[in-house]
Amino acid sequence: METESGVSLAVAVKTAKDDNKEKYEEKKELLLKEILVMCAIAKQKHANVLAIIGAVTVDPAAVSIVMEIAHTDLQTYLEHHKGFTNRFVPVDRNDATSDEENRKTNTYRKEEYVVNNDLNTLDTFELVLFAYQIANGMKHLASIPCVHRDLKLRNVLITKNKTIRIGDFGLARKHKDRNYYTETKGIIPIHAAPETKENYKFTEKSDVWSFGLCLYDLFTLGTKKLSELSESAEDFSTKHKRLTEPQHCRSDLFEFIELCWEFNPVHRPNFITAVYIFKCELGRFSDNTFNEIEAKLKLELEEQKKLEDWVPKKKLYD
């Protein structure tokens, strides 16, 4: 993409494509709705939410333009990453009460952590940092208010400097009521919350359900893929109590994950609580690292705001 001054910016372009005319129209309609949501979100930019730069909505085209992430989604990143550094305090091998299967403690090694932008490294600290950023982005969406409706690691993007951006707003909806949003029909993801499958009800709490699935996938390094499960929500809500605690997750955090899967949405936490939980969790690693994290996210937000200068002064699209 090039501005009137001739300066270029790498962008990603999304279009509706399908040889079948009927399916094409369906995809086009979804993309147009996604563009509307992203335009509404763009009015309140956030470092952990993907920002739209421009769009074409004139028939017969439907095109959205976003800043190129230059890496991949979080699920793919975890699946293909080689090597992991455990930041837990080692288990005392002479401790007969220790968990022989997981061989971990509930304590992180306290040291001076530096926010690492190297995509070739991955450790326990960064898993918690990823979780914090997802919660941070979702907290922002809930404040708009906007329900994502399809939160999973494949819809969470990771940039070349390890900043997390929530993307893919094809099923997202902006609404006026912060507590309740429903439609009579539409697409329901297989990983949806039980109240969503029962009466197509979407709220912040249904996004929290999906967030819990993302957390389990994250702390198992993408090997479980709970956010891509196909079993019914009722079955999963019953079975999740038998899920083993992820090897890279503290017991207290696993209890929080289970709260996200409470069958009654009233009993689930909100994203304000989630941000607080993971902010405190980051503090368990180091006393000063969080300030560095916030400074990095502030710079990311400033870069996103600069995108407003890339939009042409004259109207080139509708």
Query: Which residues line the annotated binding site?
Result: 154-155, 168
User: What's the 3-state SS for 30-99?
Assistant: HHHHHHHHHHHHHCCCCCCECCEEEEECCCCCCEEEEECCCCEEHHHHHHHCCCCECCECCCCCCCCCCC
Q: Tell me the binding residues for Mg(2+).
A: 155, 168
Looking at the DSSP assignment, which residues form a beta bridge with residue 11? 67
Q: Tell me the binding residues for ATP.
A: 154
- Sequence-distant (6+) residues with CB within 8 A of 262 are 268
Residue 134, CA atoms < 13 Å, CB-side half-sphere: 27
Task: Verify whether residue 150 is a known catalytic residue.
Answer: yes
Q: Which of 150, 207, 252, 287 is catalytic?
A: 150
Question: What is d(CA 261, CA 267) in angstroms, rounded to the nearest whole number?
Answer: 9
Looking at the DSSP assignment, which residues form a beta bridge with residue 147? 173
Point out the residues that are catalytic: 150
